[in-house]
Amino acid sequence: MTKSPPFSPTSPRSVEIVIFAGVQLFDIAGPLQTFMSINRLFQAEGREPPYTVRLSAPGGPVVTTAEGLGLAIAVTTPKDGQEADTLIIAGGPGAYSAAADPDLIAWLKPRALCARRVASVCSGAFIFAATGLLNGKRAVTHWSRCAELARSYPEIRVETDPIFVRDGTMWTSAGVSAGIDLALAMIEEDLGHGTALAVARDLVVFSKRPGGQDQFSATLRLQLSDDRFGALHAWISDHLSNDLSISILAAQAGMSERSFVRHYRDSTGLTPARSIERLRVEAARQLLSHTRQPVKQIAQRCGLGSEETMRRSFIRILGATPKTYREHFPD
């Protein structure tokens, strides 16, 4: 992925967030607050804010969100000459009706074509897809809607794991808080890594997450499976550096080895060895991101043994070496 050099705008660049009846409030508020935060930081330093932000709603002037809150929109349909530099399509339960509205799509498509970059948050990907502009592009939406998006728009290359995806000037993100990650990535593209981190700190975001991060952690993936082995997973997470052979796991689960292996795979879709590897890699990547411990020490602490074993596991699961991960996913 290539990055444009940071810009030094002589006048603010416009960010337009498209909303509709049944929009999810946080899909608006997350990106909106992120761009407003950088404006506030610039103003505090006596500098010109780099962005102007507005909401547009072809169905306005009052839009009722999915949460039942009515929003009064000052600009329902921007006039010619008010094209957005960055156009963001919010998501929410109403996105499906909006995607099927020919008038909205006919209004949206030319605006998207005029923008420098276009993005969607969560189920806003369905509205984006209805314009045809995502055909042949990589995209993502909320994990629970990825299969539906792929079925409805087979021309799109839907990815199920990332929190956001950028394909050229087209950006899509996963659910809810991923809209903040997407906006931070845009700020980083425009103004540099340090500025994006300053905004993340201002928002008290745990860390600035690049798009390649999974929507799910390994722990959450296992929690979403049948909770029959929930206690075992908690025990494994507390004993990652121990011997976690089948005999020990089966005894901990109170089952015979043969029965344990069969039921575990039926429940989680993984072998015990693969689950343990994922949990160990997740623990290791947290330590890589949030500590300066040497890789060798992290490998031993997380039960991955040697640096080489840890490297192979990282490449297999994350597609990156521990060194590369630490460089690109800092705290």
Tens of pLDDT, residues 232-264: 888 998 899 999 999 999 999 999 999 999 999
Which residues, given as ranges, of the chain have pLDDT below 70? 1-10, 74-81, 204-227, 328-331
Whole-structure pTM value: 0.67
Among 141, 183, 184, CA closest to 163 = 141
Cα Rg of the chain (Å, integer): 22
Q: What is the dihedral of CA 192, 330, 211, 284, to 10 degrees?
A: 170
Q: How do strand 62-64 and strand 51-56 relate by DSSP bridges?
A: unpaired
Helix (H) or strand (E) segment spanning residue 87: strand 86-89
Chain centre to alpha carbon of residue 268:
24
pLDDT at 206: 45
Rounded to whole angstroms, the Cα distance separating 250 from 202 reads 47
Q: Are 7 and 190 in contact (CB under 8 A)?
A: yes
Residues 6+ apart with CB under 8 A from 226: 267, 268
Among 170, 172, 138, 131, CA closest to 156 = 138
